[in-house]
A = this chain, B = another copy of it.
Amino acid sequence: MTPATTGTSVLAGGMPVEEFRRAAHEAVEWIADYLVNLRDYPVLAQVKPGDLSGQLPKAAPEQGEPVDAILEDFRRLILPGITHWNHPRFFAYFSITGSAPGILAELLCAALNVNGMLWKSSPAATELEQVALGWLRQWVGLPEEFFGIIYDTASVSTLHAIAAARELADPETRAEGASRNLVLYASEQAHSSVEKGAIALGVGQKNVRKIPVDASFRMRPDALGEAIRRDLSAGRKPFCVVATAGTTSTTSVDPVPEIAAIAREHSLWLHVDGAYGGSAAVIPEYRHVLDGAALADSVVINPHKWLLTPTDLSAFYTRRPEILRRAFSLVPEYLRTADDPRAVNLMDYGVQLGRRFRALKLWFVMRYFGRERMAAILRSHIELARQFAAWVEADERFELAAPVPLSVVCFRMKGPDEPNRRLLDAVNASGEVFLSHTVLNGRFVLRLAVGNVATGRADIETAWRRIQAEAATGS
């Protein structure tokens, strides 16, 4: 018999089933209230380092505890240390949403607890991943020949893109090890994961060329072409270029069609990082965000960023799945299955063997919202950002620091950096809103990112009023 501290109760996942029902229903009620009342919480945790760890026992628990005690500590100890990413006034980094249908799917996913490494190890997980990624591909207008696979994060998607690029350019790497001769290109505004991926893969940080951008922070194709020619003259081997559709600092969109032409000319793998911006292509009048992506070898879009899907879920597309597979397939005997071309084994396409059933939440979210409402929500985020930018422009103390192509506004008080730093700290310390920062052209810049399903006009009004008030105090 299963050991249990609980006598003769019927157990569900190791817990008396009535205890599980009660605790889970209580958690559901708490979550419903939490989601409705999020505005009552400070967005940014108002704690100091060590505040939580100082309150928790140093010694690991010998005896089990009732679930009620754990839930109580969750509310009493954990919550005050949470920065509320699901808060409608979370405007930092990229604003995201753990939406209600996504939460339901994660609950079911945890209960099923499947590992979709092989088709056989959970057929529905593999097939739903293909179907849901096919739907998303249609929503953003990518061609049908793109094969889709879910990774955990865009950093991992980008690492796989670079690895596939290397497999194509230098197939002996797999057996012999990396060459130090390969060169990768991305703009100086590209995400740090491009450089980190190149470091991890053994391409080398020095072999990443950061191509200059124009006044709108978009990669300059002329500078890209020049860098490639310089490397070729020096006997180096250009192999990959990463273009970004929606950079992290300013959401600028690189001129992908021109970059694609250069990539084709020099036989480079073109990866389009649309982790944030790619989602905007769901809006018909913003489909241009992915202009040229159809010409890419791979594209990443993160539904956990701007498609209301709880973290983590990064959608990776490639028109060359056989190259990705050649880079990563390694099947030990205990995972060998009969070959069936319709039964794809997704573990063959990446570093990770274990695969959560992430497709379930994407399928729930896409079906629950549908494309029209999803587009309306994203459009509203862009409109809110535009509105905020207009207020910034109308206040002579402030200036915009970059164009606002999507749902992020980069702005600052005119003049030196230091008052801007103090402004950001004061605004965030209020707990009312949470903004982050970046540096553009050597100057400290505040960033307001809109992306939560519950964010409305009143929320950005609150942000703007708080910013104005703190600016007045600080000046």
| A353 engages B29 (CB within 8 Å) | no
B328–A67 CB distance below 8 A = no
Judge whether B203 and A367 touch: CB under 8 Å: no
Given A81-B122, A113-B98, are A67 and B368 also a contact pair (CB < 8 Å)? yes
Contacting pair A136 B81 (CB below 8 A) = no
CA distance A134 to B60 in the complex (A): 8
A357 CB to closest chain B CB, in angstroms?
9
Q: Which residues of B contact A257 (CB under 8 A)?
A: none
Residues on the B chain within 8 Å of A175, using CB: 204-206
Binds B, one of A83-91, A226-234, A389-397, A467-475: A83-91
Report whether B127 and A111 are in contact in the complex, using a CB–CB cutoff of 8 Å. Answer: no
What separation, in Å, do the CA atoms of A67 and B10 have in the docked complex? 30
Are B14's CB and A97's CB within 8 A? yes
User: What 0/1 pattern do residues 162 to 193 of A give for CB contact below 8 A with B?
Assistant: 01000000000111111110100000000111
From A51-59, A211-219, A258-266, give the one contacting chain B: A51-59
In residues 121-166 of chain A, which contact B (Cβ within 8 Å)?
A: 121-125, 127-128, 130-131, 134-136, 138-139, 152-156, 159, 163
Q: From the candidates B82, B84, B192, name the one contacting A353 in the complex (CB within 8 A).
A: B192
Report the copy number of this chain in the oligomer: 2
What range describes how many residues of A lie at the interface?
35 or more
Residues of B contacting A195 with CB < 8 Å? 330
Among A201, A311, A343, residue most surrounded by chain B Cβ atoms (within 10 Å): A311
Determine the residue in chain B with the shortest Cβ distance to A16: B100
The residue on B at minimum CB distance from A35 is: B12
Interface residues of A in 429-470 (CB under 8 A from B): 436-439, 447, 453-457
Within 8 A of B (CB), among A340-387: 340, 342-343, 351-354, 356, 360, 363-364, 366-373, 376-377, 379-380
B113/A380 in contact, CB under 8 A = no
Q: Contact check: which of B32, B61, B99, B354 meets A311 at CB < 8 Å?
A: B354
Q: Is the CB of A24 within 8 A of B104?
A: yes
Do B52 and A127 have beta carbons less than 8 Å apart? yes
Set of chain B residues within 8 Å of A122, measured between Cβ atoms: 45, 81-83, 85
CB contact between A196 and one of B70, B191, B311, B328 (< 8 Å): that residue: B328
Please, how many angstroms separate the alpha-carbon atoms of A114 and B90 in the complex? Answer: 11
Q: Given the complex of chains A and B, what is the CA–CA distance between A175 and B207 in angstroms? A: 8
Give bound CA distance, A343 to B45, whole Å.
13
The answer for the CA separation of A51 and B127 in the assembled complex, in Å, is 9
Given contacts A27-B107, A356-B312, contact A78 B128 (CB under 8 A): yes
Q: Is the CB of A85 within 8 A of B112?
A: yes
Most buried by B among A17, A23, A333: A333
- CB interface residues, A 1-35, toward B, < 8 Å: 1-5, 10-15, 17, 19-21, 23-25, 27-29, 31-32, 34-35
What residues of B have a CB within 8 angstroms of the CB of A121 in the complex? 83, 85, 92-93
**Given A61-B366, A96-B115, 19 further pairs, Cβ under 8 A:** A12-B32, A12-B35, A13-B86, A13-B454, A14-B97, A21-B28, A24-B28, A31-B108, A31-B111, A49-B123, A56-B131, A60-B136, A60-B366, A61-B135, A61-B367, A81-B128, A93-B335, A159-B351, A177-B178
Identify 30 residue pairs between A and B in the complex whose beta-carbon atoms are under 8 Å apart, listed by A's number.
Answer: A5-B373, A11-B454, A12-B100, A13-B98, A14-B97, A14-B377, A15-B100, A15-B368, A20-B35, A21-B29, A28-B28, A49-B123, A61-B135, A63-B372, A67-B101, A78-B124, A79-B124, A80-B124, A81-B122, A82-B125, A93-B335, A98-B110, A106-B110, A113-B310, A152-B352, A155-B354, A159-B200, A177-B203, A192-B353, A202-B203
